[in-house]
Every structure is written in C-alpha cells, then in structure tokens.
Amino acid sequence: MPTLTERASEWYELFNRYAGDLYPGRYTLERCRELAEMSDRISELAARKQSTIIAHNYLYPEFHEIAAQVGDSLGLSLWARDAGAVRVDFESVYFMGATAKLITGDDTRVFVCDAPRVLGCSLVFGTDHRWVEKWRERNPGGIVVTYINSDVAMKAISDYICTSRNAAAVLKAAVEANPGKRVLMCPDKYLGWVTRAMAGLSEEVVEIYEHHFSGFHACCYVHEKVNPASLDRMLDEHPEAELLIHPECGCASTCLFRVQNGEIPHQKAYFLSTEQMLWHARKSPAKEFVVATEKGMIYRLRKEVPEKVFYPVADEVVCDFMKQNTFEKLLRSLEEDRIEIIFCDDCCDPREPYTDDRVTHIPRSAGRLAMAAIDRMLAI
C-alpha cells in the first residue's frame, strides 16, 4: 500500500503527464497531496456507507483515479444496475444521476454531490417541454425520439430514448415501427442533423427540435464551441491525425457534409460517442488523433491508449457543469448523505421537481413513463 507522500507524487506525475496541458497549473505537488488525503477519507466513507463511486468521462483526472467505473451516462447506469450497487455516488451532472435512478430503481440509492441547477446542462435548460407537448397536438400520433441527455420530464413525454452511439439505429427503428407518422428528434440539433443524415431520412419524416428556451440553445454549449475552423487549424498542424468527432459538436453536420463531398477524406473523420472513441483509437493504424469532445475524455484516451497521441481540438471545450464536481463536494456529500435522488408519490411536477439540500424528487409516474422510453431503446 503506497504512503500518502508516494501517492501524491504518483498523481503529480500522472496528472501532469496526461493532463498538464489540459489544466495548466492545476496539479501542483501540494494540490496532489490534498487530493490524495481527501481520497483516503472518501474511500473510508464510501466503504462504510457501501457506496460505489462512478464518474463520467468529462470529470477531472482525480475522479478517474478513484471511481470504480468511468464512462458515459448510460453505460455507467447499466453498470451500477448490473453490479447490484447498494448506493452509488454518481459524479457527473444531475440528469445523469436521475437516469441512473430510473435504471437502478428502488434497489439502489443514488446520490449527486450538488444541487440540480449547479450540476446542470445547457441541453436540459434549453428544452421547452410545453413546446414538445404542443408539437404532439399538431402532429397526432407523432413520435418523439429524445437524446439521453435530457431530464426525467422530457424522457417521460418521449417514445424512445437514444444515445449518441445508437441514435441512427433508434431513429430508423422508430420510423419503421410507425409508418406514415412524423418523428420529432430532440433536444440536440447537431446530433439531430447528423443522425437524420446518417439514417438517410428526410426532413418531411424527421423534424429536429431547434429552439431556444430559458436563455439556452437546444444544444450542448460545450460541443457547440467546436467549429469547422478549429478542426481545419488542427488538421493543418497535424496532417497525419485522424479526427474523432462527437456528433453533438457544432461542426459535426458541416463535417459530415464535407466528408460526403470528398472535401475531408472519408478515412480521416469519424463520428463517435466517447466509448466508441476509445475502441477506435485502439484499433486504428493512425498514431495521432484530434479529439473533438470535452477535454476530460483526453485524459482517459491518453491513459488507456498511451502508445498514441491525442490533441484536444480547442482549449475552450470544457463543461463548467461537469467541472463543478470536486473532491471537497464529494466528501461533504458522503459525510452528510446529500443530495439523494428519490422517487416521490407524485407530490411535484416532474418539470419542476421538489429539491432541498438533502433530496431531490422524481415523481414515480413520470419515472415509469421515462423508463418505458429507455426500455424501448434497450430493446432495439
């Protein structure tokens, strides 16, 4: 068992080797020692409270080191269910914790380390549930396909959920199972455009939600920052590199168009979910990659595929919501058992769930409808 000083040195070396350029100045020896100290207390409390810590790819490197599992939101939720976790502390954003609660049900206690508005998401804030309900009235029998990065209320009024990995397959299946019906894809317009094109479906059949709500565009504000110019600049600097593009990126639809036009060579640009990026990087003959997704993923790619080189597409591709997770908050959450996501007997509106500094609610009826939409995806 390494001593505290040995672990602090090990983290100092590791974080600066794989993430020094991503978070300049963050990992001093002193900070690594504080993190190592807190991690001891976190492990002790987690063991006492039978908690399994899981962390999203986009979190700071220290979370990658202490989590039992690192991944995307659906993968982590299914992992927690299959592992039969008694309690999970889900280090991510609030809606991901809620998805884990839907999937694990009453068997698992699910905690997040801060309030839902703090651990927010521009996609969730930018979704107008009432607009979608009105769309259904205008399109009787219409089918709603919703990206998993959405809240429980949105999932509850959806027919199918999809991820960035399976979006085209789910969209095709939804259209085939509902001939003659219009389909609305929401809330991320970039993912919607790319998916519709990849599935070979027309605008007449698939409409994309493209609205503003409460000051947010209906897209991931982090991926929206990735534009074609930043990709071109990186490709000029690294002409041998392959492009790994998350389909939520602001450049994704333009890139897809340019690939189809032959402007970007077909074998150079790949539209991939975060987990697919790892698989692709391992098996590709390429030695260098420009990665268009949140910077947190670069640490995981560099650590798990150390023989290859990964460049972030731009410095500013950082999610401030994800980065609200800190060891200090996790420690407090474990010490004080807050904030737990619980099912309530429909005491509140799922669009504005009851929240205080200890719990936040998922109305049970909305939870059942949301889970039915997730199950339809899992069955495809």
Using CB under 6 A, list all residues that contact ligand SF4: 58, 93, 121-123, 149, 220-222, 294, 319, 321-322
C-alpha 35/C-alpha 39 separation (Å) is 6
Query: Are the CB atoms for 251 and 228 separated by under 8 Å?
Result: yes
Least CB distance to ligand SF4 at residue 296 (A): 9
> Which CB sits closer to ligand SF4, 96 or 102?
96
Phi and psi (nearest 5°) for 12?
Answer: -55, -45
Query: Are the CB atoms for 333 and 339 separated by under 8 Å?
Result: yes
Three-state DSSP at 72 gives: coil
Q: Say if residue 339 is preceded by a cis peptide, omega within 30 of 0.
A: yes
Least CB distance to ligand SF4 at residue 271 (A): 16
Least CB distance to ligand SF4 at residue 153 (A): 16
Least CB distance to ligand SF4 at residue 251 (A): 15
> Which CB sits closer to ligand SF4, 123 or 277?
123
Least CB distance to ligand SF4 at residue 58 (A): 6
Phi and psi (nearest 5°) for 110?
Answer: -120, 130
Nearest to 98 by CA among 275, 342, 323, 333: 342
- Beta-carbon neighbour count of residue 149 at 10 Å? 25
> Which CB sits closer to ligand SF4, 60 or 321?
321
**Lookup: tokens for 135:** 């769309």
> Which CB sits closer to ligand SF4, 220 or 377?
220
Name 216's bridge partners.
213
> Which CB sits closer to ligand SF4, 11 or 299?
299
- Beta-carbon neighbour count of residue 105 at 10 Å? 12
> Which CB sits closer to ligand SF4, 39 or 149?
149
> Which CB sits closer to ligand SF4, 296 or 350?
296
> Which CB sits closer to ligand SF4, 121 or 167?
121
CA angle 372, 187, 95 (to 5 degrees): 60
Quickly list DSSP for 204-221. TTEEE---EETTEESS-H
- Name the strand (E) or helix (H) holding 344: strand 340-344
Least CB distance to ligand SF4 at residue 319 (A): 3
Query: Are the CB atoms for 225 and 256 separated by under 8 Å?
Result: no
Helices first, then strands: H and E counts in the chain:
17, 16
Least CB distance to ligand SF4 at residue 294 (A): 5
Least CB distance to ligand SF4 at residue 180 (A): 33
